[in-house]
């Protein structure tokens, strides 16, 4: 994994002021050092500049970037962030054409694939990636992003110059690009947040390359091409064949994603998703006489305060212990204090350059930092619930037919804390409805499906397109903030495409949540884990944490210089802080309830202040 950045202008002469632009490239790279602490590199051409930060995982000695190749006397250059899982297959395809390789890196395979097949080569690539290729001959910069947006890639334009970076902070290094938000950006924060509209960078005139797309930037302008999208098809496999196919696709994805020249580990919560990933990894390593290292997370003294509810019925620790014993893994329990969790709220904002998932994000940032002390690569169980229908909104009729994003069924908790004039100016309901309608219009509906099946297909698509992206962003920023590469086998494009079309009567046969996944895992997990009721990522129920957040937000309310104050109803917020919080009524997803609302407002205050955000 790495960080990439750069700029392009078809009318520029960057080499005429080489020192200035080399300094600028180095600065853009330094802002992304956390993504790639092992090495750095820059390249400057007359029309284009590229910067790279490297986290060395594959071909540690031969994969330096930017990487360049000469073909027919013309130069081609690449910077790349990600991991390709079918490198050997792609290399073989190129070798049969007489192509020769100088390294074993996937970077070289990507560059030579582009040179020999053009941008459409990306359709054959299996992996997680964000990459930029500059073709000097045609003075064209091409940006690619993986199918589900596991790896980030932002861009904007200032004058005639196109600027891109793995993270938003990289863009702000370029002269003339400053953090500013208009009403659309504010709606992304207050109405949709922490989710965001696909392709939206929140800041004014900032965008993100859409998952499954590539951009071609040249003198003719910017052209977007979609190379992958979820398609709806009738599912014709039998129940037994479906189970076998899911098992084959998932275990194959896990095995492919174990590729690394450095040791791997897994996150192990004791739920079916992470346990299944860990089980396959442990089995593969055992064949080589090696032991898998696993990590689980919780909060200090959480066993004394845990409150079971419909969204979080049980604690993870007992199940993680049973699973670690079953796997004979080298297991480490990591705990986060409430003080650390609160303090890392601000670091989370810096990791995203935006408010994010509050303490759901800050705690994972801390845990990833601890894991990064000993490992560079981790496999996770992220994305299984979006793909296999594990969330309550797939099962509860009131959520299934709510006519909006089911993880935010009402804007009332948000609006109640905002200044009424500000909220009215945003027209929050209209913004959300427009975003929802646009997303739903992308779904291919099958005529033979009844209304309930159609609703579930739409919810499945929205969960993958919107909700999963929020969690992938969280996983990328929290892991890469300290140079840890997180891989997500459940986001494999063949697996997701197949499962998307499995009918609900199979997915949840007999009313069993994620039935198809559970049946495909028979024999890989003990039944106690295999049929455990879903319990999401842990959060603290310690009242000390709630009181700590409340005290901090009250300080903000008393700070007349805070840019957040004009946006809030101070009286409503004060009343909210003085009352006990409801932990079982989320305002976003499953976990973000009362305390997380307080934490989110603290993040917004810090973001507006620290980034000197201009509100337009």
Give dist(CA 454, CA 52) in Å, integer. Answer: 44
Is 583 a residue whose pLDDT tops 70? no
Question: Residue 501 is encoded by which pair of tokens?
Answer: 């079309």
Is 355 a residue whose pLDDT tops 80? yes
Please state the rounded mean pLDDT for residues 290-315. Answer: 79
DSSP letters, 419-445, are -HHHHHHHTHHHHHHHHHHHHHHTSPP
Please state the rounded mean pLDDT for residues 504-514. Answer: 95
Q: How far is C-alpha 486 from the geometric centre of its chain's CA atoms? A: 10
Please state the rounded mean pLDDT for residues 21-37. Answer: 96
Q: Read off the pLDDT band of 242 (50, 70, 90).
A: very high
% of the chain exceeding 70 in pLDDT = 97
Instruction: Answer whether 0.85 is exceeded by the pTM.
Output: yes
Average confidence score pLDDT of the chain: 94
Please state the rounded mean pLDDT for residues 396-416. Answer: 91
What are the start-end ranges of the H helices in 40-193? 87-95, 106-117, 168-171, 183-187
CA distances from 378 to 150, 190, 257, 264, 540 (A): 14, 32, 10, 6, 24
pLDDT score for 309: 61
Q: How far is C-alpha 22 from the geometric centre of its chain's CA atoms? A: 31
User: Is 45 a catalytic site residue?
Assistant: no
Question: Phi and psi at residue 118, in whole multiples of 5°?
Answer: 80, -175
Give the residue with greater pLDDT, 270 vs 292: 292
pLDDT score for 585: 80
Question: Residue 571 is encoded by which pair of tokens?
Answer: 């009286």
CB atoms within 10 A of CB 317: 19
Q: Read off the pLDDT band of 402 (50, 70, 90).
A: confident
- Exactly one of 2, 48, 265, 356 is catalytic; which is it? 2
pLDDT score for 64: 86
pLDDT score for 570: 96
CA distances from 114 to 289, 463, 473 (A): 39, 32, 27
Place of tokens 């992206």: 469
């Amino acid at each position: 994994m790495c960080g990439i950045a750069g700029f392009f202008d078809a009318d520029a002469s960057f080499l005429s002021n080489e020192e200035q632009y080399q300094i600028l490239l180095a600065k853009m790279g330094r802002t992304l050092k956390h993504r790639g602490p092992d090495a750095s590199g820059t390249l400057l051409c007359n029309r284009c500049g590229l910067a790279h930060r490297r986290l060395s995982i594959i071909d540690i000695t031969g994969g330096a970037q930017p990487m360049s190749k000469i073909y027919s006397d013309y130069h081609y250059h690449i910077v790349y962030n990600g991991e390709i899982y079918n490198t050997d297959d792609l290399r073989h395809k190129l070798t049969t054409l007489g192509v020769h390789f100088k390294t074993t890196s996937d970077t070289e395979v990507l560059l030579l694939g582009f040179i020999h097949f053009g941008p459409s080569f990306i359709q054959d690539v299996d992996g997680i990636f964000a990459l930029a290729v500059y073709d000097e001959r045609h003075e064209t910069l091409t940006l690619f992003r993986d199918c589900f947006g596991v790896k980030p890639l932002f861009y904007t334009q200032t004058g005639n110059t196109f600027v891109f970076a793995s993270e938003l902070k990289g863009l702000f290094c370029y002269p003339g690009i400053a953090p500013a938000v208009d009403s659309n950006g504010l709606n992304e924060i207050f109405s949709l947040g922490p989710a965001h509209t696909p392709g939206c960078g929140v800041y004014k005139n900032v965008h993100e390359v859409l998952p499954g797309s590539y951009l071609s930037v040249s003198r003719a302008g910017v052209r977007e091409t979609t190379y992958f999208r979820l398609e709806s098809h009738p599912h014709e496999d039998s129940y037994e064949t479906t189970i076998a196919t899911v098992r084959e696709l998932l275990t194959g994805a896990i095995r492919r994603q174990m590729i690394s020249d450095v040791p791997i580990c897994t996150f192990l919560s004791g739920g079916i998703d992470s346990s299944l990933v860990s089980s396959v990894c442990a089995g593969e390593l055992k064949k080589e006489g090696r032991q898998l290292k696993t990590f689980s997370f919780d909060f200090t003294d959480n066993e004394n305060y845990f409150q079971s509810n419909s969204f979080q019925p049980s604690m993870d620790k007992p199940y993680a212990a049973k699973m670690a014993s079953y796997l004979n893994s080298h297991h480490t329990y990591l705990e986060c204090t409430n003080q650390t969790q609160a303090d890392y709220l601000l670091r989370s904002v810096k990791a995203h350059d935006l408010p994010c998932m509050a303490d759901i994000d800050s705690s994972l940032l801390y845990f990833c930092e601890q894991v990064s002390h000993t490992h560079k690569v981790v496999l996770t169980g992220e994305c299984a619930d979006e793909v296999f229908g594990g969330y309550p909104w797939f099962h509860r009729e009131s959520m299934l037919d709510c006519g909006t994003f089911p993880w935010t069924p009402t804007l009332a908790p948000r609006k109640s804390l905002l200044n009424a004039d500000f909220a009215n100016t945003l027209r929050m309901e209209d913004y959300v409805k427009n975003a929802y309608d646009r997303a739903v219009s992308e779904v291919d509906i099958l005529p033979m499906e009844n209304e309930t099946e159609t609703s579930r297909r739409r919810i499945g698509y929205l969960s993958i397109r919107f909700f999963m992206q929020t969690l992938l962003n969280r996983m990328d920023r929290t892991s890469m903030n300290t140079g840890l590469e997180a891989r997500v086998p459940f986001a494999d494009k063949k697996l997701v495409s197949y499962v998307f079309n499995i009918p609900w009567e199979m997915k949840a046969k007999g009313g069993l949540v994620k039935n198809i996944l559970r049946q495909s895992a028979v024999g890989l997990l003990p039944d106690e884990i295999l049929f455990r009721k879903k319990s999401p990522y842990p959060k603290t129920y310690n009242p000390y944490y709630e009181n700590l957040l409340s005290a901090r937000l009250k300080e903000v309310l008393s700070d007349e210089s805070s840019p957040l104050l004009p946006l809030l109803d101070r009286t409503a917020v004060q009343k909210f802080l003085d009352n006990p919080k409801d932990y079982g009524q989320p305002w976003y997803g499953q976990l973000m309830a009362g305390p997380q609302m307080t934490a989110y407002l603290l993040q917004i205050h810090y973001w507006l202040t620290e980034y000197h955000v201009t509100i337009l």
